[in-house]
Structure 1
């Protein structure tokens, strides 16, 4: 798989001197942890390497109330109690949200509303039919006044490679209409989104590992790789290169968000494969590898922590949390999959060599 990937890392260990990096409070600003047995299987990988994860609410049933969000948070904290991990919860935006529920959510520490256009991705069946409807705009006025942030899976229902670009007009409309509302372009995948990011002070973004390293050729240029199918779609080499450059520069309005989204192989390898890439086991190590390869290790702390700390206002959320992760250049083979229930979950770049690894405590 991926001639680009092979070129990218092929001679890394031979051409680079030994390097080590220490990261303080790494943060994953877009994370799917699922529920039940899958939650138990995947949570340790994120909780081990990250101090905080922004937890997505597209469960079954979706996290549409404060009570459900707190119940889910408590379950995550119970399962990760020895790993010093903060689950930063989100609330699924829907037409029946009102001021009372939003006020209660904010009082309980929930700071992010998650907007799914209906049908845009996994678990979006209960999403918003019309983003700019009178009711949704009314909810967003309340959210702005209370101090929420708005995180959006921003895709239209158009041609799959243009969906993010077509949704930019919605991002820009919302940015103009709610200038005090911080709005997140989740998992930015189209280089044209960078222009909107620069144009509006209250627009921010996250970038995934897979969107900065892969192009559509890796998904289906030769054989079809269902493990690399995700939404938004992995796009062109030009998009990949622009996103990688943005990440390597540690653009102050951009944070790391893995969008690690596990699915059982029994569902992934089917005629109706769901979108989603499971990257949690390698996210931090691979980021270090990428930044080291490009001689940009000095920017990794900002991309994976400092930017989000500032942009999301995480002082009160993280409190006294101080998680230190040390990584060094040491080759290790990425596992093909992890076991879950009676199936398995494929790991991004499984079977390949990662050139940075965590130094065990």
Structure 2
């Protein structure tokens, strides 16, 4: 059994920078036609010049694979002139609540203080991407943020808003209530719950933000993905960290899935008898929602064993992937 996917897209990806970028970039560009690149570097990508320079560094590390990096500005209080200059060079802007996740200290402290920027984005048709969490109790942070999504969606009805890496059944329900809301969902949140992270011995390589939630949340996410809800897109949130930052006190948040994402999604959809919907989930929905035309790439995934390495090494880094050391039922066998 096999399936050939046309132009797979990852609509939420961390490539980091410097040596780490050199290690992980080819692991995405080999199997994906394009990806939305997160801007929370140190320092964050906050100008057109920084965005263009980062794109050049990414393209220098694709190892010749056909790939389109969809660049994103880190949200801040930009002027109209700054947004106009950057508009044609980016797919949108990413809003981080200050301190909500990795390298987000320069994010937004008060949403109502930046509504004038939302207005400019609405008028200029620049999409808004949001890490939607409050600073409340960790299991409730996404749910508490949903009212903010509703407020922005209502007040700025022509502003296209992406709820990034949703993790709750309540977030899924918003997709059908507001025309201008859409969402990405990760591989890990379709598979794991908090029990997998901390129900037995702590598994730091499954710890991410937003944290995995309850079984009923996973089931709602999985149901929407398997039926390829037209406003739900695959966004891996693949977030590499060195082992020294994961297997330690103060473990960094992030699950590294880039090398296995396509094969693991094929296995997941096959297990649930929904393989025919994978093309929409991993590409067509994103093309419709964002109007992108990705690089031509055909990726064939075959039902044959694929042993995931214990770690990916190079350029002075060693990164542990999700399912390290396990054998999947599906494997990428051809890329043209």
Category of TM-score, reference length = shorter chain: over 0.9
SS of aligned partner of 2:71: strand
Aligned twin of 1:303: 281
Separation in 1, partners of 2:182, 2:310? 33
Counterparts in 2 of 1:113-124, with a 5 A limit? 113-124=93-104
Separation in 1, partners of 2:21, 2:228? 31
Give the C-alpha shift of residue 196 in structure 1. Answer: 1.5
Q: 2:305–2:328: 8 Å Cα contact kept in structure 1? A: yes
SS of aligned partner of 1:79: coil
Aligned twin of 1:60: 42
| 1:240-297 deviation line (CA, Å, top 9, x unaligned) | 1111111101000000000000000101111111110000010000000001111111
Separation in 2, partners of 1:341, 1:303? 33
Give the C-alpha shift of residue 343 in structure 1. Answer: 4.3
Q: 2:127–2:159: 8 Å Cα contact kept in structure 1? A: yes
Q: 2:26–2:63: 8 Å Cα contact kept in structure 1? A: no
Separation in 1, partners of 2:317, 2:280? 37
Which residues of structure 1 form unaligned runs of 5+?
Answer: 1-18
| 1:319-344 deviation line (CA, Å, top 9, x unaligned) | xx211101100012111111144441
Q: 2:161–2:181: 8 Å Cα contact kept in structure 1? A: yes
Aligned twin of 1:328: 302
SS of aligned partner of 2:27: helix
Q: 1:91–1:113: 8 Å Cα contact kept in structure 2? A: yes
User: 127, 142, 160: which is aligned to 1:149?
Assistant: 127
Q: 1:151–1:186: 8 Å Cα contact kept in structure 2? A: yes
Q: TM-score, normalised by structure 2?
A: 0.98
SS of aligned partner of 2:19: helix
Separation in 2, partners of 1:102, 1:137? 15
User: 57, 61, 86: which is aligned to 1:75?
Assistant: 57
Aligned twin of 2:224: 246
User: 79, 97, 109: which is aligned to 1:98?
Assistant: 79
Aligned twin of 1:232: 210
Separation in 2, partners of 1:40, 1:279? 16
Q: 2:193–2:215: 8 Å Cα contact kept in structure 1? A: yes
Mean Cα deviation higher: 283-292 or 77-86: 77-86
Separation in 2, partners of 1:22, 1:244? 22
Aligned residues: 335
Separation in 1, partners of 2:314, 2:200? 29
Q: TM-score, normalised by structure 1?
A: 0.91
Give the C-alpha shift of residue 111 in structure 1. Answer: 2.5
| 1:85-134 deviation line (CA, Å, top 9, x unaligned) | 10000000013x11111000013x2131100000000010100111121x
Aligned twin of 2:112: 132
Q: Does 1:89 align with 2:71?
A: yes
Counterparts in 2 of 1:209-358, with a 5 A limit? 209-315=187-293, 318=294, 321-358=295-332
